[in-house]
Amino acid sequence: MENKIKKVDLIFGKVDHLSVLDKSFQRSQDEIILDVIDSGLRGRGGAGFPTGLKWKFAKNEDSEQKYVICNADEGEPGTFKDREILTQVPEKVLSGMALCGYCIGASEGYIYLRAEYNFLLPMLHEKINRFNSDMRERNIEFAVYVRSGSGAYVCGEETALMESMEGKRGEPRNKPPFPTSRGYLGKPTSINNVETLVFALMIAHHGPQEFRDMGTFDSRGSKVFSVSGDTPNAGIYELELGMTLEQFVNEFGDGDTKAVQVGGASGFCVARKHFKDTLIGFEGIPTGGSMMIFNSSRSMYNILHDYLEFFEEESCGQCTPCRVGCQQLLKGVESVKKGSKPPSYLEELQKLSETMKIASKCGLGQSVPNPFNSIINNFREEIIY
């Protein structure tokens, strides 16, 4: 395998978004959806559901009213790429939404923007007004609106986001039914991440082959990474998928990288000895983009403690495994550190985290065990002493 990682410029490059749309509107919905399926594009928010299939399911629903939602509730610690995409290429995001709307038969699109990004609103409103009138001029029945969040990490979960848009507490729903059959206001809804929508537009522009040719079997194309922590090159990079963590660290590390947290607080911590055999992608460790790099000066206990505090605060509290589980994991590692519980208590906590994985209602509680177990398994001594 060659050792250089490949930079790509699909997301941030300039494109005449209206001509891509005009060209697409000449084609049938099925053709475009088939292209998106063929490209292998999977959701870029982190969960990785095949985008084309999602659109197909939404299209196949028989309903007068359907919705497109752009999930811009980017709250995962270590992720900041959606803000940059919305800042630099808002028209491409809006066009991706219109493309999705055309494919599934929706005339309304909503951007759910996290409150922390409210400073983007004046610019977004201006772009949206122009875009909506561009659509009206073309007799395309599609308009975009913005809804704001109010500081709740869990609202990035798609059904919690819809509850929030409906004016309720952002508590996740049971699935099924999935949003493609019963989403916002009970209507079929395609909810996609900011980056996913731009990729879909670019696939409509270039055809599926170029995207498909990049990456690996399960992780096609490229991905925007948010790189932070102990690195001289913190920032946002679009990279071809399929690299190992070793290649990544060679490019971005500071020469003393001890561990990388792949996929944000809810992702996995990979220790140095596993860099070589860890693939970044759906075959290995998937990420919504967050890559936090830690060097050997960092205490892994502090990092785990920070993550657990985050989850304990952000758990919506609806289901017991997550609400109580997060509290107990936090209290538990504090007790082991203080010495008021023996080191063997960590095994009890790991059992509890397995219960959370099985019994929690949504991805929040289900993924707390990811950082918890990967940090404890790799850095047990640092947690105890």
Partner 1 sequence: MTTIQEFVKDQAEKHGRDRTSLMPILQAVIHSERYLSEEAMVAIAKELDLSTADVFGTASFYTFMDTVPRGKNIIRICKTITCHMKGKDEIIETLEDMLKIKIGGTTSDGLFSLLQANCLGWCHKGPVMLINDEVYPEITSPQAVEVVREYLKKG
Closest to 190 measured CA to CA, from 75, 43, 64, 362: 43
| Residue 253 touching partner 1 (CB under 8 A) | no
Binding of residue 226 to partner 1 (CB under 8 A): yes
Question: Out of 166, 277, 347, 354, which residue is the one contacting partner 1 (CB under 8 A)?
Answer: 166
**Coil, strand, or helix at residue 219?**
coil
Q: Which of these segments, 39-47, 172-180, 296-304, 337-345, binds partner 1 (CB under 8 A)?
A: 296-304
Q: How far is CA 282 from CA 41, 46, 162, 242, 299, in A?
A: 12, 10, 26, 9, 28
Q: Which stretch binds partner 1 (CB under 8 A): 224-232, 274-282, 331-339, 344-352?
A: 224-232
114 binds partner 1 (CB under 8 A): yes
Q: How far is CA 44 from the centre of its chain?
A: 5
Residue 233's closest CA among 5, 1, 2?
5
Shortest distance, position 112 Cβ to partner 1, whole Å: 10
The single residue among 228, 315, 373, 374 that binds partner 1, judged by CB under 8 A, is: 228
Cβ burial 169-178 (10 Å sphere, 16+ → b, else e): ebbbbeeeeb
* CB hemisphere CA count around 128 (13 angstroms): 19
User: Per rule CB under 8 A, is residue 323 in the interface with partner 1?
Assistant: no
| Amino acid residing at 131 | F
Residue 312 found at the interface with partner 1 (CB under 8 A)? no
- 93 or 214: whose CB is closer to partner 1? 93
Cβ distance to partner 1 smaller for residue 21 or 120 = 120
Contact 158, 49 (CB under 8 A): no
Which residues contact partner 1 by CB under 8 A?
74-80, 83, 114-119, 121, 147-153, 164-171, 185, 226-230, 234-236, 265, 290, 292, 298, 302-303, 306-307, 310, 313-314, 316
